Amino acid sequence: MRITRYAAAFAAIGVVLTGCSSEAGNQAEQQTGNTVAVETETSFEPGTTMAELAEAGTMTVGTKFDQPGFGLLNPNTKAPEGFDVEIAKLIAAQLGIAPEDITWTETVSANREPFLMNGQVDMVAATYTINDDRKQKIDFAGPYYEAGQDIMVAAGNPLGIEGPDDLAGKRVCSVEGSTPAENIRTNYPEAQLTLFDVYSKCADALTNGQVDAVTTDNVILTGLVAGNPDGFELVGNPFTKEPYGIGVPKGDDAFRAFINDTLEEAFDNGDWADAWDRTAGAISGTEAPEPPAVDRY
């Protein structure tokens, strides 16, 4: 796993990686979102996932470990940090589960559905685009954010890539099992697609000249650019809509409804915007957008 190259992204969002003063420690706590208000009195219908998790006092969440701003492993705490992580903490808090009682499991794009189907995780918050193919295997709560597919190139954009039509004949990197990879394969077949399991390997390939461009959601690429601003730049021309949802096991309608209720409450009370400002918003320099409407399918 490549976390050293992207440690600079923590500095971009103000996370203190080292330090001995109490002031620094308090700043780190604020930035990483350890101020989630955990429910102390919970009551759920017996037999539901919510009741089981609340009784256990712990849960397992799948997320990314290599995406600055959304899910990046902190090399000091050995815990992931980012917007997806904060959303998961908000959901856990409504179950009475504190952040320190969450077990974080790395879920790369290709194993998110298998991990849910096999019971290896209770839910997945991992830049997880909602689409019909995935809903054949698992269910989604949300969306809680809408991204758009974009392109990252070497600084200076030496090949003049301005959009997906310019990828014909170019070596383009994405991740196996991802919506962006399938979009390139299906709609831009003249691109020479290279696939890895994680986006950090795509970033390394772009640095080493093995590929000409990297494509995935704009917010993921923004984090990678923040980690290496002298080496990468974002084309800045999104060409899809990617609604991010929380993955849950197929058929668990009560759990999905509970998460949707929690998301809507976070939209309304400002917790969602605060989570954005501490994480992805700090990297991108953008204020929290209007939250999307959750899908009650």
What pLDDT, in 10s, does the model give residues 11-35? 433 433 323 323 333 333 334 445 6
Q: Which domains does the chain have, with CATH numbers?
A: 8-146+242-284 (3.40.190.10), 149-234 (3.40.190.10)
CA dist., res. 71 & res. 85, Å (int): 6
Give 173's Cβ-side CA count (13 Å radius): 23
Q: CB of 283 within 8 A of CB of 13?
A: yes
Beta strands in the chain (DSSP E): 59-63, 66-67, 71-73, 80-81, 102-106, 123-124, 138-147, 149-154, 171-175, 192-196, 213-217, 232-234, 242-249
- pLDDT single digits (tens) 52-63: 999 999 999 999
- pLDDT single digits (tens) 127-155: 999 999 999 999 999 999 999 999 999 99
- pLDDT single digits (tens) 55-104: 999 999 999 999 889 999 999 999 999 999 999 999 999 999 999 999 99
pTM metric for this prediction: 0.84
Q: β-pairing, 59-63 with 66-67?
A: unpaired
